[in-house]
């Protein structure tokens, strides 16, 4: 007969009297009398009073054949007395985890708010105040300001045109009409906020800002606003008198100011992205890391589920065999609740194994790494607008870069000139130039350069003159100053309002022309532009005496051969200056017929403009090439100029067979007879293409899209593109990562970009690559560390549950370990700063797994070492340290030194392995740069200190007892052993471990259904792909209905109220007129 472990002993009997009478049929006195008897006397008493031992069992309401009992045992009372310890400890541990996560989220939110505020401050606009053009934040623009506008601007307020030069506006964001609207004083002078300047220039007077502008009225009716807007509204409400009208006005003003700023309007950006995706019928898969993490999470989840299932099955089978086969107990109805409790306990153990197996700290690590990187990238002149661009840049394989301002310093100066039939290698003296030619140069450059471009005195005495405005215009104006000519005097005599007609520069014309009307009724037009294009339109040229002479095709070939090409070979941008007279007395020319107007010109001069290469660019390009990134130059310059700059900066090297093409030649090679672009033809060109000259924005978009869509390489290319103009927006949107120029870039380009280069420098792109790769490595480091802990913890929990029926690591100890490997580890490993070594390897690529062979080797190798140490200590530790065994200890017994050593050694091994996890590519020196990461050192040292406190004073809540110095040293020695073991693992070649499975592969490039695009779906969400299509459609339907109901409710409540106001009625009428 086996003794029931839950049966009452003498301590059970010593209970309150009412409990006795209620529970047992034997009194305390009877039991005392019985236990006083011995041997034969005891047997006689049992037989006389109770029949046999089974009679005693019956009176005590227990059974020798079952393990169940109905009464409250002492064990249960003991459990009740000690239950508060585990509960309180768990509560405190969970509170620590939640508070740490909340603190991180708060810090991240605060950081992103600072970033958003920085973006808002960056949005400035030029205004004319006190006769000076100054840059001010758009929120400081007031009614009555005179604002110069130019190609690429996003209008921040409503206004009326004062003077325009070939001005065309894109009002599609307001009216929905895609056609560009021409703005003239005699036609349509009304300019609306939120519209884009797509061509020309001019000046406007501000008539409405904020809530009173057309965009403000629309946003007010819709009630659109973000979190920042809501905070500002609350602040404004305190300043208002509390009336509904003032409150609504303050709210609308804030929303309008927020939404009109490029980069802050989610509605506007999402709308443009939707249109772009629907028109291209293609989804852009932006986040490489996201897809890999999703697949890895699914793989780990399946493995954890399988392990937990096996654990539950083993426990149940072990329990059934032991109880019913070995002990031969019988299942009775009385015992059913007890058995159910056992099965529930087994299920909870299985869930525990599953929870331990899943790396729930991974999202926190990703968030911390990205947030930290975005913050630090600001210091490296990278303003990140889209978070996923940060890590995507780490996988970039191609960079298509502009030349001007990115590779060069964007400080231009005329250094050579062809004037009066002479090629001057240095700036000539003004006395050597005929006065007639000099007058043409002075007037032509003064009026045919943007009036917002000017040369200002240097800020320091020894400094260079400041160039304000277009740098090419500034170079020409500087040329006049070198010739001792005063351009400002000409501009004062011919103000911008007196310009009769202006053909502004754009990527199609590649020239700019300005028409002046003379007093006698004649007209004179000055033209400047790309030398080979303008020279082809010339039929005369000024000779040495300053008189026009015929200019034929032979003369054109001579100048191109002897002047233009030598200048371009020196890396100079060549600009041709020309003019044309329209005699008086003839019918006024048809100025809209541009092709006939800009013909039969007279060449004044050809100048060579030098834009020095940034000194740090060649080294940066070399780093990119060593990192497996191909740099391509895409520029509008002459092909010879582009080739020379490419050779200087290292994009091309002498003796290489790479291609340098012009945009026209590229289109000829990649299009079929019908003019359609063929991917197979483009695939023959782009791998060898390094320089694309005289390219249009369409050519850039074609190249970027072709490289991304190409399937000739094993990995899909990840393309980064730089751009500054409005027409660069399609290429910036198409690219995996779009870089806009913060200084020279237009508002439209910035809005289409993912990252803004605040210094317009190519080296900042290289730093973005480093940070992107650092994010990737930080996640890999965290995974290597946490998966090692997970493997060890799962196996220890499994073996403990199945063999010893007890876990060597108690609940609160597991929570402390979980805190170490989740929150603390993510902070420590996700805040490593990038190093130059990141640029010494090739990009990971979209399909390379997160868990590489090297990482898998480290994970399994370290897990093997830790398991050997843990199981050795668990099963033989009491012999090794000559202490009492902690195995099979009675319930609620004091903490044992045995299991305290096991716990302490396990934690110290994790701390040392955290140092190992700093390297994921097989590096031997795991301490390299460790002291440069103060966060890592602080967390590691703090964790060690807390572990010391837990072991020494933690007591029963942590199931720990004090250890001797010798026991501490042994624990520390076994922990440091992970560092030594890591060196041994590193010596094992990966070629011997090809059988190891890599985890976290990226997804292959998949075809996206047009039906999904028609739904306006966003970027590919890999987690969403794990759901079935029915679930996807269901959630999309719910979200769409919810959004539509919100819009309807908003209009129902505020539309008619707003229409009652006179100012709103007039504004709406003006909006309707603009639509018509």
Q: What gap in Å lies between CA 35 and CA 53, rounded to an integer?
A: 13
Q: What is the DSSP letter of 659?
A: E
Catalytic residue (one of 402, 610, 611, 637) = 402
Cα dihedral across residues 681, 686, 690, 691: positive or negative:
positive
**What is the DSSP annotation of 537-594?**
TEEEEE-TTS-EEE--HHHHHHHIIIIIHHHHHTTEEEEEEEEEEE-TTSPPP-TT-H
Beta bridge partners, 689, equal: 659
CB neighbours of 463 closer than 8 A, spacing ≥ 6?
A: none
CB neighbours of 1055 closer than 8 A, spacing ≥ 6?
A: 221
Helix axes 39-50, 28-36, angle to 10 degrees: 150
Q: What gap in Å lies between CA 796 and CA 870, rounded to an integer?
A: 8
Element (H, E) at 417: strand 413-419
Element (H, E) at 723: strand 719-723
Does the annotation count 699 as an active-site position?
no
End-to-end Cα separation, the chain, in angstroms? 99
Q: What gap in Å lies between CA 552 and CA 876, rounded to an integer?
A: 101
Query: Are 284 and 1019 in contact, with CB atoms under 8 Å apart?
Result: yes
10 Å Cβ neighbour count for 933? Answer: 17
Beta bridge partners, 999, equal: 851
Q: What gap in Å lies between CA 913 and CA 907, rounded to an integer?
A: 10
Pick left, alpha or beta for residue 650 (phi over 0 → left; psi -120 to 50 → alpha; otherwise beta).
Answer: left
Q: Render the burial of 5-39: b for 16+ CB within 10 Å, e for the rest.
A: ebbbeeebbebeeeebeebbebeeebbeeeeeeee
Tell me the longest C-alpha to C-alpha distance in the chain. 149
Query: Are 832 and 781 in contact, with CB atoms under 8 Å apart?
Result: yes
Angstrom distances, CA of residue 1067 to CA of 138, 172, 225, 834, 1075: 21, 18, 21, 53, 13
Of the CA atoms within 13 Å of residue 6, those in its CB half-sphere come to 17
Angstrom distances, CA of residue 628 to CA of 269, 409, 842: 32, 26, 5
- For 64, phi then psi, to 5°, come to -70, -15
Q: What gap in Å lies between CA 859 and CA 852, rounded to an integer?
A: 10
Q: What gap in Å lies between CA 1059 and CA 1071, rounded to an integer?
A: 13
Q: What gap in Å lies between CA 850 and CA 835, rounded to an integer?
A: 20
Closest by CA to 632, choosing from 729, 540, 546, 699, is 699
Cα dihedral across residues 219, 221, 224, 229: positive or negative:
positive
Q: What gap in Å lies between CA 426 and CA 414, rounded to an integer?
A: 9
Query: Are 604 and 577 in contact, with CB atoms under 8 Å apart?
Result: yes
Beta bridge partners, 609, equal: 414, 573
Q: What gap in Å lies between CA 296 and CA 856, rounded to an integer?
A: 13
Query: Are 634 and 400 in contact, with CB atoms under 8 Å apart?
Result: yes
Query: Are 568 and 576 in contact, with CB atoms under 8 Å apart?
Result: no
Query: Are 358 and 301 in contact, with CB atoms under 8 Å apart?
Result: yes
Element (H, E) at 872: helix 853-880
Catalytic residue annotation: 402
């Amino acid at each position: 007969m086996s003794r029931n472990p839950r049966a009452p002993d003498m301590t059970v009997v010593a209970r309150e009297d009412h409990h006795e009478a209620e529970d047992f049929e034997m009194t305390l006195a009877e039991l005392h009398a019985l236990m006083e008897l011995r041997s034969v006397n005891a047997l006689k008493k049992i037989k006389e009073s109770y029949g046999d031992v089974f009679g005693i069992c019956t009176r005590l309401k227990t059974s020798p054949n079952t393990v169940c009992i109905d009464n409250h045992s002492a064990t249960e009372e003991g459990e009740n007395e000690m239950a508060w310890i585990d509960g309180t400890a768990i509560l405190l541990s969970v509170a620590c985890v939640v508070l740490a996560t909340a603190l991180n989220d708060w810090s991240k939110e605060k950081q992103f708010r600072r970033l958003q505020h920085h973006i808002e401050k960056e949005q400035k606009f030029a205004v004319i105040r006190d006769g000076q053009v100054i840059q001010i934040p758009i929120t400081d623009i007031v009614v009555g300001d005179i604002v110069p506008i130019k190609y690429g601007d996003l209008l921040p307020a409503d206004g009326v045109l004062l003077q325009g030069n070939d001005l065309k506006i894109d009002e599609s964001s307001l009216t929905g009409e895609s056609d560009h609207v021409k703005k003239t004083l005699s036609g349509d002078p009304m300019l609306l906020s939120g519209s884009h300047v797509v061509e020309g220039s001019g000046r406007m007077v501000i008539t409405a800002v904020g809530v009173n502008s057309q965009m403000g009225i629309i946003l007010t009716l819709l009630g659109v606003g973000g979190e920042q807007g809501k905070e500002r509204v609350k602040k404004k409400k305190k300043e208002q008198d509390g009336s509904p009208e003032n409150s609504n006005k303050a709210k609308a003003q804030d929303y309008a100011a927020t939404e009109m700023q490029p980069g802050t309007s989610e509605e506007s950006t999402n709308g443009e992205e939707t249109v772009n995706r629907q028109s291209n019928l293609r989804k852009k898969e932006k986040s490489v890391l996201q897809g890999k993490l999703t697949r890895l999470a699914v793989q780990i989840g399946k493995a954890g589920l399988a392990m937990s299932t096996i654990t539950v099955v083993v426990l149940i089978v072990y329990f059934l065999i032991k109880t019913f086969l070995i002990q031969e107990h019988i299942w009775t109805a009385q015992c059913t609740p007890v058995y159910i409790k056992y099965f529930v306990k087994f299920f909870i153990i299985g869930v525990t194994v599953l929870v331990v197996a899943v790396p729930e700290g991974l999202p926190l690590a990703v968030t911390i790494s990205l947030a930290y990187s975005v913050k630090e990238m600001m210091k490296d002149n990278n303003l990140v607008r889209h978070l996923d661009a940060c890590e995507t840049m780490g996988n970039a394989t191609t960079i298509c870069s502009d030349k001007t301002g990115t590779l060069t310093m964007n400080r231009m100066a005329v250094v050579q000139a062809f004037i009066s039939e002479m090629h001057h290698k240095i700036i000539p003296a003004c006395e050597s130039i005929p006065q007639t030619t000099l007058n043409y140069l002075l007037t032509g450059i003064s009026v045919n350069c943007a009036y917002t471009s000017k040369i200002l005195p240097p800020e320091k005495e020894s400094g260079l003159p400041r160039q304000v405005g277009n740098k090419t215009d500034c170079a020409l104006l500087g040329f006049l100053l070198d010739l001792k000519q005063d351009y400002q005097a000409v501009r004062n005599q011919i103000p911008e309002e007196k310009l009769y007609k202006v053909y502004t520069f754009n990527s199609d014309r590649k020239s700019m022309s300005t028409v002046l009307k003379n007093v006698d009724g004649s007209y004179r037009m000055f033209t400047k532009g790309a030398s080979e294009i303008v020279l082809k339109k010339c039929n005369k040229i000024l000779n040495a005496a300053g008189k026009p002479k015929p200019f034929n095709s032979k003369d054109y070939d001579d100048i191109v051969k002897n002047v233009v090409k030598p200048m371009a070979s020196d890396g100079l941008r060549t600009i041709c200056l020309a003019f044309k007279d329209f005699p008086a007395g003839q019918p006024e020319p048809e100025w809209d017929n541009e092709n006939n107007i800009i013909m039969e010109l007279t060449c004044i001069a050809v100048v060579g403009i030098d834009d020095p290469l940034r000194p740090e660019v060649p080294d940066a390009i070399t780093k990119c090439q060593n990192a497996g990134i191909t740099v391509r130059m895409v520029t509008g310059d002459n092909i010879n100029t582009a080739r020379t700059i490419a050779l200087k900066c290292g994009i091309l090297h002498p003796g290489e067979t790479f291609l340098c093409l012009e945009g026209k030649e590229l289109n000829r090679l990649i299009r079929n007879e019908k003019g359609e672009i063929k991917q197979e033809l483009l695939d023959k060109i782009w791998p060898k293409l390094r320089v694309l000259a005289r390219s249009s924005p369409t050519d850039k978009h074609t190249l970027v899209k072709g490289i991304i869509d190409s399937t000739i390489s094993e990995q899909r290319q990840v393309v980064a593109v730089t751009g500054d103009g409005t027409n660069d927006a399609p290429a910036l949107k198409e690219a995996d990562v779009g870089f806009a120029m913060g200084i020279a870039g237009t508002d439209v380009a910035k809005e289409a970009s993912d990252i803004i280069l605040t210094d317009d420098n190519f080296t900042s792109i290289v730093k973005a690559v480093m940070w992107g790769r650092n994010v990737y490595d930080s996640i890999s480091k965290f995974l290597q560390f946490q998966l090692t802990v997970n493997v060890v913890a799962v196996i220890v929990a499994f073996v403990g549950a199945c063999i010893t029926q007890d876990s060597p690591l108690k609940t609160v100890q597991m929570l402390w370990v979980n805190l170490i490997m989740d929150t603390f580890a993510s902070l420590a490993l996700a805040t490593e700063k990038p190093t130059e070594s990141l640029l010494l390897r090739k990009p990971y690529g979209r399909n390379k797994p997160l868990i590489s062979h090297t990482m898998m080797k480290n994970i399994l190798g370290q897990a093997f070492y830790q398991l050997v140490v843990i199981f050795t200590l668990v099963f033989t530790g009491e012999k090794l340290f000559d202490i009492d065994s902690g195995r099979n200890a009675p319930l609620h017994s004091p903490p044992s030194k045995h299991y305290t050593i096991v716990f302490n050694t396990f934690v110290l091994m994790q701390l040392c392995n955290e140092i190992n996890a700093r390297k994921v590519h097989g590096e031997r020196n795991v301490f390299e740069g460790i002291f440069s990461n103060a966060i890592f050192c602080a967390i590691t040292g703090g964790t060690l200190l807390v572990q010391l406190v837990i072991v020494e004073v933690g007591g029963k809540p942590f199931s720990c007892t004090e250890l001797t110095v010798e026991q501490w040293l042994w624990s520390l020695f076994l922990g440091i052993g992970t560092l030594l073991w890591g060196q041994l693992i590193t010596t094992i070649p990966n070629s011997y471990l090809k059988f190891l499975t890599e985890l976290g592969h990226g997804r292959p490039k998949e075809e996206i259904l047009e039906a999904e695009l028609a739904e306006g779906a966003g970027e590919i969400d890999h987690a969403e792909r794990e759901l079935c299509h029915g679930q996807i459609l269901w959630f999309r339907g719910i979200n769409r209905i919810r959004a539509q109901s919100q819009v309807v409710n908003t209009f129902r409540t505020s539309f008619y109220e707003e229409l009652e106001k006179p100012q709103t009625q007039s504004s709406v009428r003006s909006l309707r007129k603009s639509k018509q």
